[in-house]
Structure 1
Amino acid sequence: MQLRKAKRGDLRYIVEMLADDDLGSTREDFRFPVPASYMDAFENINLDPNQELMVVENMKGEIIGTMQLTFIQYLTYQGGIRAQLEAVRIHKNHRGTGLGTEMIKWAISKARKKGAHVVQLTTDKKRLDALRFYRDLGFVDSHEGMKLHL
Structure 2
Amino acid sequence: MGDLEIRPTAQDDIPAVVAMLADDPLGAQRESPHDLSPYLAAFERLSADPNQHLVVAVRHDRVVGTLQLTIIPGLSRRGATRSIIEGVRIHADERGSGLGTRLIEWAVDESRRQGCHLVQLTSDKTRTDAHRFYERLGFSASHTGFKLRL
Q: Secondary structure at the match of 2:20?
A: helix
Q: Who is 2:16 aligned against?
A: 13
Q: Distance in 2 between matches of 1:78 and 1:137?
A: 26
| CA deviations over 1:56-111 (Å, ceiling 9, x no partner) | 1102x000000000000111122211100000000000000001001111110110
Q: Distance in 1 between matches of 2:101 and 2:36?
A: 31
Runs of 4+ more than 2 Å apart: none
- Partner of 1:26, secondary structure, is helix
TM-score, normalised relative to structure 1: 0.96
Report the CA distance between 1:35 and its aligned residue.
2.4
**Alignment RMSD, CA only?**
0.7
User: How many residues of Structure 1 are paired with residues of Structure 2 in the alignment?
Assistant: 147
Q: Structure 2 unaligned segments of length 5 or more: list them.
A: none
How do residues 1-150 of structure 1 correspond to structure 2 at under 5 angstroms? 1-31=4-34, 34-59=35-60, 61-150=61-150
Structure 1 regions of 5+ residues with no counterpart?
Answer: none
Q: Secondary structure at the match of 2:130?
A: helix
Fraction of identical pairs, as percent: 47
Distance in 1, Cα, partners of 2:70 & 2:47: 11
SS at match of 1:148: coil
Between the aligned partners of 1:109 and 1:2, the Cα distance in structure 2 is: 15
* Contact 2:52–2:70, Cα closer than 8 Å, also in 1: yes
What one-letter code is carried by the residue in structure 2 that aligns with 1:16? Answer: A
Shift of 1:5: 0.2
Alpha-carbon deviations, 1:88-143, whole Å to 9, x = none? Answer: 00000000000100111111011011110110000001011111100110100101
Name the amino acid aligned to 1:10: D
